């Protein structure tokens, strides 16, 4: 019988003990003595966030299909349990078996956002695993990182034995087979890592050395082990209809952030927004077959008892069979099952689809113009004109919506005061459209336009990766420009405005484009108590500033510095499909505010066609 890692008294002393119990519906339990490989898969944030992540569910399904492998889950313990575990020397444990993570063969950590970096150190620390890969012994698990943040793994490279760059369905079986054979033959940790370095998509940071120029920029990255390739090419699944996908998603005992079944309808995006990392690194666009989706939707709803299904994609409107899958779900959804459609564009087709699945009396509708003026939208290649935005708003208002959320970015390259004020003017004009389009007798209360701005962060493998960032004070000033303009608009009573924290933006910018030196700052911040930095109540910017100062890191070097087009970036050793020449070309077009067509309208020669599938070969 399974014994819980925490006693009843300990569970009763902490908030939300259901986070740590395991044994949920559809959780996989195996006999640990009958498997060769034990894999702990970690989302370095609280249970509610991690349980909402589709990637974990896919990997969990994939690993547990193997007879020789048992994959279990682990999440970051919240502050109260963290304190208790340190005081009472309780090692971090996996949910299914409640066994210490230290006893596993692998600890796989998915890294979805930069502000979880100190949580990675918390997981290693509580598990009793040395923070630096160089200090680990044969007794420690192999620590592997994956997810979007590993498209620049360098700021956290010190903490990982290896990184998996690309989509998990592709190379993991080969990697686990190699590990199993090495284990059987009694080979060393290093021998396994050398064999792993030859697997497509695998990067072993300990096998590379960074050489720097006098100004602190990178001269070159050199492989110092014969098994390590000079370039690590990402791996992707070309045929999404013959890869693992959960039929029986785990059903949590408690409410989680996204408490629904998730149906991924496609990967990648045809649009080519110049700020969007996901739109670049997940190229080429690959659609799932409509029959595959129907089967998975039916199975997941039946096996989970969930009351909502979400169609997941970077740009759902671009999925060729969107109307078909929506109509199928509506016809077969039964009593009480809702359908959610994130990432829709502003057009009549999308609004018609959404009107079929939303209760317009309760729901708001979300648009993401990203910038307030046409020049700025052309700069980032958003592909939206004001005419399209306003006609979309008019369609929505006529369809019964009266609450709109608008998302914008501030701090984009070449941004002017007019671009900032344009955000306010656009929101005001949208409110005016409501009064023009909806007769008084048909209005369902006052129109409400909720405007939110985040601050732009340059990301690797995007055309805007060369952009300069600003100080927190300058970001705040830009937000105040928008706020002041908003108050002066004719329809200001219908407008609401909120903006994100500028301090967090600075740190994300450092982590996004940082090199290996940044690890010192992350480690020192963790030692000073920085944890759950993506949670506003936990974030302490002054501690981070002090940590960076103590280890001699200049934040401005990573954020405010002008970068030449010829600079060697920390992530240049990765082949993500999009070439640097393509990114340079798009950067230059951005500076000229020129729009590039989407992938289906005209191929831009980005380099993703070398993968041999997807949208590049549709016709």
CA separation for the pair 361, 350 (Å, rounded): 18
pLDDT at 524 over 50: yes
CA separation for the pair 383, 360 (Å, rounded): 27
CA separation for the pair 539, 115 (Å, rounded): 10
Buried-exposed string 121-139: b where 16+ CB fall within 10 A, e elsewhere:
bbbbbbbebebebeebeee
Residue 205 resides in a domain? yes
Structure tokens at 267: 């990967």
CA separation for the pair 455, 444 (Å, rounded): 33
CB of 140 closer than 8 Å to CB of 102: yes
> Looking at 233, 249, 279, which one is the last position of a domain?
233
pLDDT band for 353, please (50, 70, 90 cuts).
Answer: confident
CB of 360 closer than 8 Å to CB of 391: no
CB of 145 closer than 8 Å to CB of 153: yes
DSSP state of 113: -
Q: What are phi and psi of 148, to 5 degrees?
A: -60, -30
CA separation for the pair 218, 210 (Å, rounded): 7
Tens digit of each residue's pLDDT (9 = 90 or more) over 186-245? 999 999 999 999 999 999 999 999 999 999 999 999 999 999 999 999 999 999 999 999
- The neighbour count for residue 213, using CB atoms within 10 Å, is 11
DSSP 513-524: H--TTHHHHHHH
Residue 248 resides in a domain? no
pLDDT value at position 342? 78
CA separation for the pair 286, 268 (Å, rounded): 7
pLDDT value at position 341? 81
CA separation for the pair 252, 447 (Å, rounded): 37
Query: Is there a single domain that holds both residue 192 and residue 76?
Result: yes
Residues 533-559 have a mean pLDDT of 97
DSSP bridge partners of 164: 202
Residue 213 resides in a domain? yes
DSSP state of 283: P
Query: Is there a single domain that holds both residue 15 and residue 98?
Result: yes
pLDDT value at position 54? 94
- The neighbour count for residue 584, using CB atoms within 10 Å, is 15
Residue 596 resides in a domain? yes
CA separation for the pair 238, 286 (Å, rounded): 7
pLDDT at 590 over 60: yes
Query: Is there a single domain that holds both residue 155 and residue 285?
Result: no
pLDDT at 347 over 80: no
pLDDT value at position 334? 58
Residue 25 resides in a domain? yes
What domain range includes position 332? 260-357+583-619
Query: Is there a single domain that holds both residue 21 and residue 138?
Result: yes
CA separation for the pair 432, 500 (Å, rounded): 26
CB of 247 closer than 8 Å to CB of 294: no
Q: What size, in residues, is the chain?
A: 619
pLDDT at 546 over 70: yes
How many domains does the structure of the chain reveal?
A: 2
Between 386-398 and 348-357, two packed helices, what is the crossing angle to 10 degrees?
30
More confidently predicted of 618 and 4:
4
Residue 70 resides in a domain? yes
Residue 269 resides in a domain? yes
CA separation for the pair 555, 545 (Å, rounded): 8
CB of 546 closer than 8 Å to CB of 509: no
pLDDT at 362 over 60: no
Query: Is there a single domain that holds both residue 58 and residue 187?
Result: yes
| Sequence-separated (6 or more) residues with CB below 8 Å from residue 369 | 377, 382, 384, 389, 406, 407, 408, 426
CA separation for the pair 586, 46 (Å, rounded): 38
Residue 291 resides in a domain? yes
Peptide bond into 284 cis (omega under 30): yes
Query: Is there a single domain that holds both residue 122 and residue 197?
Result: yes
* CB burial of residue 492 (10 Å; 0-12, 13-18, 19+): middle
pLDDT band for 360, please (50, 70, 90 cuts).
Answer: very low
DSSP state of 318: G
CA separation for the pair 434, 390 (Å, rounded): 10
pLDDT value at position 359? 56
CB of 556 closer than 8 Å to CB of 513: no
Query: Is there a single domain that holds both residue 291 and residue 200?
Result: no
| Sequence-separated (6 or more) residues with CB below 8 Å from residue 87 | none
What's CA 308's distance to the chain center, in Å?
22
Collapsed DSSP state (helix, strand, coil) of residue 45: coil
Strands 266-267 and 286-287: antiparallel
**Phi and psi based region of residue 524 (left: phi greater than 0; alpha: psi -120 to 50; beta: remaining):** alpha
Structure tokens at 247: 């039929």
Query: Is there a single domain that holds both residue 331 and residue 183?
Result: no
**CA trace torsion 607, 613, 616, 617 (10° rounding):** 140
Give CA separation, 399 vs 364, 407, 435, 491, in Å.
12, 21, 14, 21
pLDDT at 355 over 90: no
DSSP state of 108: E
pLDDT value at position 354? 73
Q: What angle do CA 443, 444, 449 make, to 5 degrees?
A: 95
Tens digit of each residue's pLDDT (9 = 90 or more) over 48-67? 999 999 999 999 999 999 99
CA separation for the pair 427, 419 (Å, rounded): 13
Query: Is there a single domain that holds both residue 38 and residue 96?
Result: yes
Residues 175-180 have a mean pLDDT of 98
pLDDT at 594 over 80: yes
CA nearest to 284, candidates 167, 141, 117, 454: 167
CA separation for the pair 78, 99 (Å, rounded): 19
- The neighbour count for residue 619, using CB atoms within 10 Å, is 5
Q: What is the CA radius of gyration of the chain?
A: 25
pLDDT band for 565, please (50, 70, 90 cuts).
Answer: very high
Domain with residue 301: its CATH number is 3.30.750.210
Structure tokens at 92: 């971090």
CB of 139 closer than 8 Å to CB of 145: no
Domain with residue 52: its CATH number is 3.40.50
CA separation for the pair 526, 473 (Å, rounded): 25
Query: Is there a single domain that holds both residue 12 and residue 130?
Result: yes
Residues 353-367 have a mean pLDDT of 69
pLDDT at 327 over 60: yes
Tens digit of each residue's pLDDT (9 = 90 or more) over 63-108? 999 999 999 999 999 999 999 999 999 999 999 999 999 999 999 9
Tens digit of each residue's pLDDT (9 = 90 or more) over 123-169? 999 999 999 999 999 999 999 999 999 999 999 999 999 999 999 99
Tens digit of each residue's pLDDT (9 = 90 or more) over 438-481? 998 888 788 999 999 999 999 999 999 999 999 999 999 999 99
> Looking at 233, 249, 280, which one is the last position of a domain?
233
In 66-157, where does DSSP find H-type helix?
79-88, 117-127
CA separation for the pair 47, 29 (Å, rounded): 19
Query: Is there a single domain that holds both residue 155 and residue 295?
Result: no
CB of 576 closer than 8 Å to CB of 461: yes
Q: What percentage of the chain reaches a pLDDT higher than 90? A: 87
Query: Is there a single domain that holds both residue 76 and residue 198?
Result: yes
Give CA separation, 362 vs 215, 357, 403, 444, in Å.
56, 12, 9, 11
pLDDT value at position 554? 97
């Amino acid at each position: 019988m399974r014994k819980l890692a925490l006693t009843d008294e300990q569970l009763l002393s902490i908030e939300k003990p259901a986070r740590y119990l395991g044994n949920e519906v559809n959780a996989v339990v195996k006999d640990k003595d009958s498997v060769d490989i034990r894999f702990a898969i970690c989302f370095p944030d609280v249970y509610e966030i991690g349980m909402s992540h589709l990637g974990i569910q896919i990997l969990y399904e994939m690993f547990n299909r193997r007879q020789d492998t048992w994959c279990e889950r682990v999440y970051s313990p919240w502050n109260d349990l963290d304190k208790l575990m340190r005081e009472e020397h309780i090692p971090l444990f996996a949910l299914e078996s409640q066994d210490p993570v230290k006893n596993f063969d692998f600890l796989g950590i998915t890294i979805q956002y930069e502000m979880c970096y100190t949580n990675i150190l918390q997981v290693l620390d509580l598990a009793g695993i040395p923070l630096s890969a160089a200090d680990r012994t044969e007794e420690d698990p192999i620590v592997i990182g994956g997810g979007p943040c590993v498209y620049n793994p360098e700021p956290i490279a010190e903490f990982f034995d290896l990184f998996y760059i690309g989509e998990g369905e592709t190379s993991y079986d080969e990697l686990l087979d190699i590990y199993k054979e090495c284990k059987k033959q009694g080979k060393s940790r290093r021998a396994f890592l050398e064999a792993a370095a030859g697997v497509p998509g695998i990067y072993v940071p300990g096998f590379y050395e960074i050489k720097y120029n006098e100004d602190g920029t990178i001269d070159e990255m050199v492989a110092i082990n014969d098994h390590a390739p000079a370039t690590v090419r990402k791996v992707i699944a070309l045929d999404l209809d013959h890869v693992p996908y959960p039929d029986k998603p785990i059903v949590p005992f408690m409410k989680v952030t996204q408490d629904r079944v998730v149906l991924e309808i496609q990967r990648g995006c045809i649009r080519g927004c110049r700020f969007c990392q996901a739109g670049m690194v997940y190229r080429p666009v690959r659609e799932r077959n409509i029959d595959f989706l129907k089967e998975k939707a039916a199975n997941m709803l039946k096996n989970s008892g969930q009351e909502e299904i979400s169609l997941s994609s970077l740009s759902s409107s671009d999925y060729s069979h969107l109307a078909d899958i929506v109509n199928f779900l509506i016809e077969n959804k039964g009593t009480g099952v809702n359908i959610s459609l994130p990432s829709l564009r502003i057009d009549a087709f999308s609004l018609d689809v959404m009107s079929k699945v939303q209760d317009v009396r309760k729901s708001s509708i979300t648009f993401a113009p990203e910038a307030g003026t046409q020049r700025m939208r052309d700069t980032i290649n958003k592909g939206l004109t004001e005419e399209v935005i306003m006609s979309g708003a008019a369609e929505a208002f006529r369809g019964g919506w009266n609450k709109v959320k608008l998302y914008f970015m501030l701090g984009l390259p070449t941004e002017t005061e007019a671009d900032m004020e344009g955000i306010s003017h656009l929101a005001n004009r949208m409110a005016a459209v409501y009064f023009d389009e909806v007769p008084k007798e048909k209005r369902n209360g006052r129109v409400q336009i909720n405007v939110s701005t985040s601050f732009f962060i340059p990301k690797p493998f995007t055309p805007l990766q060369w952009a300069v960032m600003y100080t927190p004070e300058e970001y705040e000033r830009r937000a105040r420009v928008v706020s002041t303009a908003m108050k002066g608009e004719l329809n200001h009573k219908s407008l609401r405005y909120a903006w994100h924290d500028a301090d967090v933006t600075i740190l994300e910018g450092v982590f996004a484009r940082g090199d290996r030196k940044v690890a010192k700052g992350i480690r020192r911040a963790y030692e000073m108590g920085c944890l759950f930095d993506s949670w506003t109540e936990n974030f302490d910017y002054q501690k981070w500033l002090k940590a960076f100062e103590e280890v001699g890191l200049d934040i401005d070097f990573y954020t405010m510095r002008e970068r030449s087009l010829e600079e060697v970036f920390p992530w240049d050793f990765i082949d993500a499909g999009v070439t640097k020449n393509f990114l340079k070309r798009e950067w230059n077009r951005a500076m000229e505010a020129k729009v590039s067509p989407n992938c289906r309208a005209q191929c831009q020669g980005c380099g993703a066609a070398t993968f041999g599938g997807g949208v590049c070969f549709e016709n």
